Chain A
């Protein structure tokens, strides 16, 4: 009986090819819109997460200076602060004090203005940098404050045009500095080019460039699997004690937790994704109503035909099933084509706006179920109407 209904429904769809195609279009667009929104939204969320984790995983960034405390002089950290953190707080993977300054780097006849950061051996680990070419600073370079540097990918491109750079000498603040390594590119994070950087030993930075012992930032990498919140609290208390901040005074430094930022930002993109998905779902509903409309029109238009079928001996439920199957075939076909369209466009959109393509199988299943449901729900009413026609009335129609 189902096969009969399917056979009859398919013949009916073939008879009205254009109308069927237009009906299906509503579902195609609805399903495709939902899947594209969700897929691209997931891609954006993933990209945000990626960017944050490229700053360093499980990272706390501690900067000197209060929030919005302009006017008061910023009291920097010292190497001792960093040492105290690494000694008194457990579950830390790396504690990396650093100081930085904007400067112009010169090689041959090329100038490039960039940021120079003085680092210790913990910095590369804490911030997830990878040395692409050359080497890390040796312990003796770090101890003695040698004029060696590791350059970021952008600096390499701008000064050396991606040609051999290892061993070359560049000028920083009129000091000559030997390139010993090139960092692997990390890309953009929140509009800032992370690869536009030059790293030198912290001791060299303090002695030759800054001329003081200041540390402007301490990056603390927490061991995997340990809550950064607890470490953050402990570090805050430790620094307050060391900086003699009274109980009622605000911090004169702040601690940024990358995990927290990740949660906030991905939360925002997720909300946006579901919002857009919901808007798209409305278009799916409209598509469903389109099916109902067409099926109702076709019941009226085909009244005589339904009368003929009934007179020939079609049972009520056979007519019902035929119309229902017709609506289901249309909506499921629309669903299928919508999924295909959505996957193709999502791949293209992801490429264009440079986010990863992440296909959520769940949303595809939901789309399938929804398009079948649309067929049943919006097909049922017209189908019942067709089935309940009185054969004589139907035959006399027109």
Chain B
């Protein structure tokens, strides 16, 4: 596995057609290796979410190509991309996107159900994931009964329960106060360090970006800078 985990080559993304066309990405080259922890920063509208959607195989680039473990994602069908998401990717959405009126445990179980895991094993894995994010004892609570920080932790548990190759997080701390944000970031660092999960995270806050090993700056659909952070001792 000498090839990089993720490789973007001269990738562009245009929304709409004709006069209304809006070029969100204007030729992005980016290579991310296994085990990295990358923070993506940039002003609003610079194309951060767009690049995340493409990295997450939810969308395909207009031109250029995206290789995931050497596979060109553009050539995959809708279903093949769904399977790729199912087996390799974990998502933490900005708005949590938990199922309402559904217990924390059932929320976390969801990706495992789609993987077709037997009930008993599924329960064990989901409980373990909730335990990792520090929500033991909250399994039977629905999102409405949880605080914002707890909801975000359920969303993280749901993303890591499958032990994905890559964890994609679009502003995971966007809705949280700084203490809660730090908790979440510590957690992501731990996954990166202990489980070897590659993490790509969008954030507006420089404090949070500090936790990552590498910071990529986007401006107007282009990469403006790509720097490694000096690691804390």
Contact = CB atoms under 8 A, between A and B. Distances in A.
Interface of A: 1, 4, 7-8, 11, 15-16, 304-305, 307-318, 391-392, 395
A11 B113 CA distance: 12
Contacts, number: 66
Contacts of A313: 82-83, 85-87, 89, 111, 114-115
A305 B99 contact: yes
B33 interface: no
A392 B93 CA distance: 11
Interface in B73-91: 78-79, 82-83, 85-87, 89, 91
Contacts of A11: 102, 106
Interface residues on B, range: 20 to 34
Contacts of A314: 82, 86, 114
Contacts of B99: 15, 305, 308
Nearest to A398: B95
Nearest to B117: A4
Contacts of A317: 79
Majority secondary structure of chain A interface residues (helix, strand, loop or mixed): helix
B42 interface: no
Contact of A315 (B53, B83, B106, B158): B83
Contacts of A315: 79, 82-83, 114
11 contacts: A4-B113, A7-B113, A8-B113, A305-B99, A308-B97, A311-B58, A312-B91, A313-B86, A315-B79, A316-B78, A395-B97
B101 interface: yes
B52 to A, nearest CB: 10
Q: Which 9 A-B pairs have the closest CB atoms?
A: A313-B86, A313-B85, A308-B97, A15-B101, A312-B111, A391-B58, A315-B82, A392-B58, A313-B114
Contacts of A304: 97
A2 to B, nearest CB: 11
Contacts of B58: 311, 391-392, 395
A395 B96 CA distance: 11
B140 to A, nearest CB: 14
Contacts of B100: 15, 305
Contacts of B82: 310, 313-316
Interface string B92-134: 0100011111100010001101111000000000000000000
